[in-house]
Amino acid sequence: MRPLPPWLSYWIGMTAAEQWRSRTAAILIAPVERGFRPPYQGKESMMIASQLAKLIGVEQVSADAEDLAAHRFDRWCLKHWQDWQGEALHAPACVVRPRDSADVQSVVRFAAANSIAMVPWGLGSGVCGAVEPRPDQILIDMSAMDQVLSIDEENLLLTIEAGINGLVAEEAVAERGLTIGHWPQSIGISSVGGWISTRASGQFSTAYGNIEDIVYAIEMVLPDGEMVTLGKAPRAAAGPDLRHLALGAEGTHGVVTSVTLSLRRQPETRRFSAWYCADMASGFRAQREIVQQDWRPPVMRQYDASEVARLFPDYAQGEQCLILLVHEGPASRVDAEILSVESIMAELGLNPADAAAAEGWMGHRNTVPEWRDLLEQGLIADTIEVSATWSQIDAIYDDVVAALKTVPDCVNASAHSSHVYRSGINLYFTFACMPADTSVMGDRYLESWDQALTATAEAGGGIAHHHGSGRLRRDYLHYDLGENGLMLLRKLKQAIDPQGIFNPGNLLPPADAD
């Protein structure tokens, strides 16, 4: 692998060797026991694999036991717990790795003609249960479609195949002094197609936007095998924006095969600042004032006292909360922004903290424990991202933390904010439960999610900010969409995929559950 530019290594906080290990780990998300064998693959599964091999080549189709096992699930914590407990989990009939859009079309047309369900797979970094293949389904692994197709430096456009790793795409444009500006924590293990499918958000979104603000065009194979290109110009008024049929669809409307993203030039200057606030409410007020005065630090993060003690122990000051800011762009604008932020903070009574806290966050921000490491310590945990208006967020923070603490065996309920808008903000809740009986971990996990999403919805907030919905949130979608909105989404699915062969069971709750 080509060495990373020094600035890029700094940004992602990992060495090239660590990134390579992360990418390799993404291919085999679930540890596979040496003696693992998937559930019996009957004649139907063998026929599916054989026919697909004839269509696109033997090397592109795998029914190998370890390959099937590695694609049973993604990074959803609940599935890792089930696997850790020894529960038998379904594997797909076969794993197909298309080389190009024509291969994807061939696979989809075969599946449509034979009414066989398909499950798209990017790099397996999803955390909400969008991937749950069954023995009679085809899993389409897009990781072989990983090429940079073009970099247009005049118009600042990057076109890549959908299976490319996000870091590889960023590295390609970084060599030309450009950046995508999209930095999810999973950048080393996620695909660009996955960003589209989950409506992803990156750590620098406050200035650079979420993926829907960065995407220029999307190429997608529909459930009948036809190809469609969505997006043609910097802006259009040619009817509804059809790119949103792919954004957030989580593999239920087709397969994204290539993406064009709008780029930025790398920033001239970067500086850091950090601030203490007496409580979360006073910090929210400060962040609101900054963005509503039209300043846009790309990174604005606020941690409650519990998270400060756990993540920034060297900077903890009693029950004080901590705000971290990253300022970047033209030097004159950065200087002006910092002066204005200092004035806002002083006026609101916030005290400066050591800016090294923010700089240190940059160095370790993508380092997180594996689920199995926590399970071995007796913990089941997760993060839950929601969002709300400024007038709702104080109550949501208080209510959700209180609700999480009612779950038996809860040993942590905390939160931080990480994405800021003129009209509101998101919150990332972290919970951990430590039951003496590991067999009830799954119950504690689902109860924690239920408590958090229900409390958020009752306070008027949105229950899904940027990780997608998958199977984990699908039964709560009515809170955000309303019953009529859910019905409309179901009608769209029926129109696009009348056979229901794309990722069945994902995103939409079963019809009989409405």
Q: Answer yes or no: do 160 and 259 share one domain.
A: yes
In the predicted structure, residue 474 carries a pLDDT above the cut 90: yes
Q: Report the number of distinct structural domains present in the chain.
A: 5
Q: What is the pLDDT of residue 81?
A: 98
In the predicted structure, residue 95 carries a pLDDT above the cut 70: yes
Q: Answer yes or no: do 125 and 221 share one domain.
A: no
Q: Answer yes or no: do 437 and 357 share one domain.
A: no
Domain-embedded: residue 8: no
Collapsing DSSP to helix, strand or coil, 185 comes out as coil
Would you say 448 and 411 are in contact if contact means Cβ atoms under 8 Å apart? no
The DSSP secondary-structure symbol of 224 reads T
Mean pLDDT of 126-152: 97
Q: Answer yes or no: do 279 and 360 share one domain.
A: yes
Domain-embedded: residue 55: yes
Q: Answer yes or no: do 182 and 255 share one domain.
A: yes
Q: What is the pLDDT of residue 22?
A: 41
Q: What percent of the chain has pLDDT over 70?
A: 91
Show which of 114, 143, 172 is a domain's final residue: 143
Q: What is the CATH number of the domain that holds 234?
A: 3.30.465.10
Q: Answer yes or no: do 149 and 221 share one domain.
A: yes
Residue 28's nearest CA partner among 71, 91, 82 is 71
Per-residue CA distances from 213 to 181, 261, 263, 420 (Å): 11, 9, 11, 14
Domain-embedded: residue 6: no
Q: Answer yes or no: do 230 and 302 share one domain.
A: no
Per-residue CA distances from 376 to 32, 85, 162, 349, 384 (Å): 16, 11, 35, 44, 22
Domain-embedded: residue 9: no
In the predicted structure, residue 372 carries a pLDDT above the cut 90: yes
The residues, any chain, with a CB within 8 Å of residue 450's CB and separated by 6 or more, are none
What is the residue type of 226?
E
Domain-embedded: residue 7: no
Q: Answer yes or no: do 164 and 261 share one domain.
A: yes
Would you say 398 and 284 are in contact if contact means Cβ atoms under 8 Å apart? no
Q: Answer yes or no: do 129 and 28 share one domain.
A: yes
From CA 492, how far away is CA 157, in angstroms rounded?
30
Mean pLDDT of 433-447: 98
Q: What is the pLDDT of residue 41?
A: 58
Q: Answer yes or no: do 359 and 414 share one domain.
A: no
Per-residue CA distances from 334 to 187, 267, 270, 272, 359 (Å): 26, 10, 8, 10, 16
Q: What is the CATH number of the domain that holds 80?
A: 3.30.43.10
Mean pLDDT of 76-105: 97
Q: What is the pLDDT of residue 30?
A: 39
Would you say 438 and 85 are in contact if contact means Cβ atoms under 8 Å apart? yes
Q: Answer yes or no: do 98 and 171 share one domain.
A: no
By residue count, the chain amounts to 514
Q: What is the pLDDT of residue 32?
A: 40
The residues, any chain, with a CB within 8 Å of residue 375's CB and separated by 6 or more, are 80, 81, 84, 438, 441
In the predicted structure, residue 10 carries a pLDDT above the cut 80: no
Show which of 143, 170, 204 is a domain's final residue: 143
Q: What is the pLDDT of residue 120?
A: 98
Domain-embedded: residue 3: no
Domain-embedded: residue 17: no
Show which of 349, 364, 379 is a domain's final residue: 364
Residue 158's nearest CA partner among 192, 118, 199 is 192
Give the model confidence (pLDDT) of 72-85 as tens digits: 999 999 999 999 99
Mean pLDDT of 363-372: 87
Q: What is the CATH number of the domain that holds 394?
A: 3.30.300.330
Q: What is the CATH number of the domain that holds 320?
A: 3.30.70.3450
Q: Answer yes or no: do 437 and 497 share one domain.
A: no
In the predicted structure, residue 23 carries a pLDDT above the cut 80: no
Give the model confidence (pLDDT) of 302-358 as tens digits: 999 999 999 999 999 999 999 999 999 999 999 999 999 999 999 999 999 999 999
Q: What is the pLDDT of residue 47?
A: 87
Domain extent for 49: 24-143
pTM above the 0.85 mark?
Answer: yes
Q: What is the pLDDT of residue 42?
A: 65
Q: What percent of the chain has pLDDT over 90?
A: 89
Domain-embedded: residue 190: yes
In the predicted structure, residue 98 carries a pLDDT above the cut 70: yes
